């Protein structure tokens, strides 16, 4: 998993990845991994949350990765399909992708797999740094 993240430009030590995945599992979310022959070829991490304006929880994909050499083989579509099933099982009525703008190919992939543009996302740190 650490290597897959490194290929996407994020360095996280393997033990830290394990701790973070366990935290996701303990909270309102899940991580799903695609395996072929060898190291993981892809992963999706999603969380679900309740909002005042929706009767059902909403699921949010916070990470969707496919190894560069594994792309264009349907792995991303399978990960999204599995994420949608996990979200339905959790009682969610919608699936959104929060990783807009991070990966240049992601927008085209999302549109090709049935997502629609729902506006930009803004981020504000909760603690001052530096």
Q: What is the pLDDT of residue 45?
A: 92
Residues 49-69 have a mean pLDDT of: 89
Q: Which residues, 6 or more positions from 88, have their beta carbon under 8 angstroms from its beta carbon?
A: none
Q: Is the dihedral of CA 67, 73, 77, 83 positive or negative?
A: negative
Q: Within 13 Å, how many C-alpha atoms sit on residue 2's CB side?
A: 9
User: Hey, what domains does the chain have and what are their CATH numbers?
Assistant: 2-112 (3.40.630.30)
Poorest-confidence range of 26-35, 85-94, 117-126?
117-126
Q: What is the pLDDT of residue 130?
A: 63
Token representation of residue 13: 């030590």
pTM for this predicted structure: 0.81
Given a cut of 80, is residue 8 above it in pLDDT? no
Given a cut of 80, is residue 104 above it in pLDDT? no
| CA proximity to 93, closest of 50, 43, 46 | 50
Average pLDDT, the chain: 84
């Amino acid at each position: 998993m650490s290597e897959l993240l490194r290929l996407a430009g994020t360095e996280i030590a393997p033990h830290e990845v394990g701790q973070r995945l366990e935290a996701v599992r303990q909270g309102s979310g899940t991580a799903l991994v695609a395996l072929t022959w060898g190291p993981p070829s892809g992963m999706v991490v999603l969380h679900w949350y309740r909002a005042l304006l929706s009767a059902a929880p909403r699921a949010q994909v916070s990470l969707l990765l496919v190894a560069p050499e594994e792309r264009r083989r349907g792995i991303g579509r399978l990960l999204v399909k599995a994420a949608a099933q996990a979200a339905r099982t959790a009682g969610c009525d919608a699936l959104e992708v929060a990783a807009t703008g991070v990966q240049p190919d992601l927008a085209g992939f999302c549109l090709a797999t049935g997502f629609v543009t729902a506006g930009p996302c803004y981020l504000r740190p909760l603690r001052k740094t530096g």
